[in-house]
Amino acid sequence: MTDWNACLDDCVAFAQRLIRTPSMPGEEAAIAAVVAAELKRLGYDDVWSDAAGNVFGRLHGRDRSLPALVLNTHLDHVDPGDPALWPTPPFAAEIRDGRLIGRGACDIKGPMAVQVHSAAVLLAAGERPRRDVVFCGVVQEETGGAGAVHWVKNLDYPVELVILGEPSANTLALGHRGIAQFWLTFHGRSAHASAPERAVNPNYALAAFLSQLEAATAGLRVHPVLGPTSVSPTIVQVDTTSGNVTPAWTRVLLDFRTSSESVNSLRALIGRLAGDSAHTLAYAEGTASLPLTDSNEPITGFFIPPDSPLVRRVQAALGRGTGREPPLTHYRFATDGRHMAPRGLPVLGYAPGEEEMAHTAGESIAIDQMMESLRGHAQLLREF
């Protein structure tokens, strides 16, 4: 009989070790070593890494002829920011009021610990999963997904399903919208700021554009499950750092999230709002769900319809493990799933942790959610 309290204690202790190992994008070697050591300690049959720095563990299933079930998380986290804004030091991994606190607790080291330890639950009970289970910890998700891209390009074994460990509060996430980011540059003529009549100030054209953008985007198409198209103007830059110079150009980064619009339809929207002002449009490299070439195809993240038999199988298995079938939902943020779905890999998200905790000062995860997710994952491995 499974001692769930002991399993949870071991899992939480591992999550604490992960949080205490900082792993900014491009600096994941130390945490990859921690994960590899844990995979070996728990008895995974194969543990290895690849040229990108990703780390893997494979547990052999009862029927090795079946395609694998992949449990995917990323190894990196965002910067903790100002430590003074945290209730505890961001890498201390303290537990308060039933929550584990620290940078990456929710996104994504608590979920990673659950994924790694779900196989240990079976092994401790003398069981094996139905099919091979591969834990896949990838690098640089927070900066575009280089690790996931490398994995899918070099994938040499069949995969039945990828379970993303992105926080979903133990709901079953069917997908998320795709990303398209554009640099929109308005061109003017520079002059001394004391003589604005000699200049053509591009900031006015930018202001006119931004004043129309939100309302115009609200009129775009809506995906029936993943929701409406949204846009966030994020970074604004000019060509000068001198406060007494009218800039020659100003540019803004436009972050669109959509599963219903295409590159061409978004370009048309931007062009219509920018009007006759002198402007240029370029794609932001390394951010899109798919190459931003001229296309009328909808920009996608990943998505499996709620009536899919695959969704029903996973939902039922998780329900038998936890005593409640997880509600169906979707992510607001983007994940590495956007790199997997275009290559034909079915992807669903399921993990402890509230999505709204990700990237916040004081980030934390509820330990009781980790327990529920551990039970759900273990049952999924048994029968899927």
CA 271 to chain centre: 30
- 110-124 and 29-42 helices cross at what angle (nearest 10)? 20
pLDDT score at 283: 84
Q: What is the mean pLDDT of residues 331-357?
A: 96
pLDDT score at 288: 45
Of 40, 73, 74, which Cα lies nearest the Cα of 57?
Answer: 40
Confidence of residue 286 (pLDDT cuts 50, 70, 90): low
If one compares 290 and 46, the residue with the highest pLDDT of the two is 46
Rounded to 5°, angle at Cα 295 from 292 and 299: 65
Instruction: Please state the domain extents for the chain.
Output: 4-174+304-383, 177-299
Cβ atoms within 10 Å, residue 95: 17
Of 167, 184, 185, which Cα lies nearest the Cα of 176?
Answer: 167
* Residues contacting residue 319 through CB under 8 Å, at least 6 positions apart: 325, 326
- What pLDDT digit, counting tens, does each position of 85-117 carry? 999 999 999 999 999 999 999 999 999 999 999
pLDDT score at 293: 66
Of 172, 208, 203, which Cα lies nearest the Cα of 186?
Answer: 203
N- to C-terminal Cα distance for the chain?
21
Confidence of residue 294 (pLDDT cuts 50, 70, 90): confident
Q: Which CATH class is domain 177-299?
A: alpha beta
- What pLDDT digit, counting tens, does each position of 206-260 carry? 999 999 999 999 999 999 999 999 999 999 999 999 999 999 999 999 999 999 9
**Mean pLDDT, all residues of the chain:** 95
Rounded to 5°, angle at Cα 333 from 214 and 153: 120
CA 125 – CA 117 distance, rounded (Å): 13
Cβ atoms within 10 Å, residue 77: 29
Tokens of 70: 């992949």
Of 163, 180, 133, which Cα lies nearest the Cα of 340?
Answer: 163
Q: What is the 3-state secondary structure (H, E, C) of the chain?
A: CCCHHHHHHHHHHHHHHHHCCCCCCCCCHHHHHHHHHHHHHHCCCEEEECCCCCEEEEECCCCCCCCEEEEEEECCCCCCCCHHHCCCCCCCCCEECCEEECCCHHHHHHHHHHHHHHHHHHHHCCCCCCCCEEEEEECCHHHCCHHHHHHHHCCCCCEEEEEECCCCCCCEECEEEEEEEEEEEEECECEECCCHHHCECHHHHHHHHHHHHHHHHHCCCEECCCEECEEEEEEEEECCCCCCEECCEEEEEEEEEECCCEHHHHHHHHHHHHCCCCEEEEECCCCCCCCCCCCCCECEEEECCCCCHHHHHHHHHHHHHHCCCCCEECCCCCCCHHHHHHHCCCEEECCCCCHHHCCCCCCEEEHHHHHHHHHHHHHHHHHC
Q: What is the mean pLDDT of residues 120-143?
A: 96
pLDDT score at 290: 44
Confidence of residue 300 (pLDDT cuts 50, 70, 90): confident
Confidence of residue 332 (pLDDT cuts 50, 70, 90): very high
CA 294 – CA 32 distance, rounded (Å): 38
Q: What is the mean pLDDT of residues 363-379?
A: 98
Q: What is the mean pLDDT of residues 255-284?
A: 94
CA 23 to chain centre: 16
Confidence of residue 292 (pLDDT cuts 50, 70, 90): low
Confidence of residue 285 (pLDDT cuts 50, 70, 90): low
If one compares 299 and 12, the residue with the highest pLDDT of the two is 12
Q: What is the mean pLDDT of residues 21-48?
A: 98
Q: Which CATH class is domain 4-174+304-383?
A: alpha beta
Q: What is the mean pLDDT of residues 376-382?
A: 98
Rounded to 5°, angle at Cα 371 from 369 and 373: 70
- What pLDDT digit, counting tens, does each position of 55-91 carry? 999 999 999 999 999 999 999 999 999 999 999 999 9
Residue 284 has pLDDT above 90, yes or no: no
Longest dimension (CA), the chain: 82
Write down the pTM of the prediction: 0.91
CA 118 – CA 306 distance, rounded (Å): 25
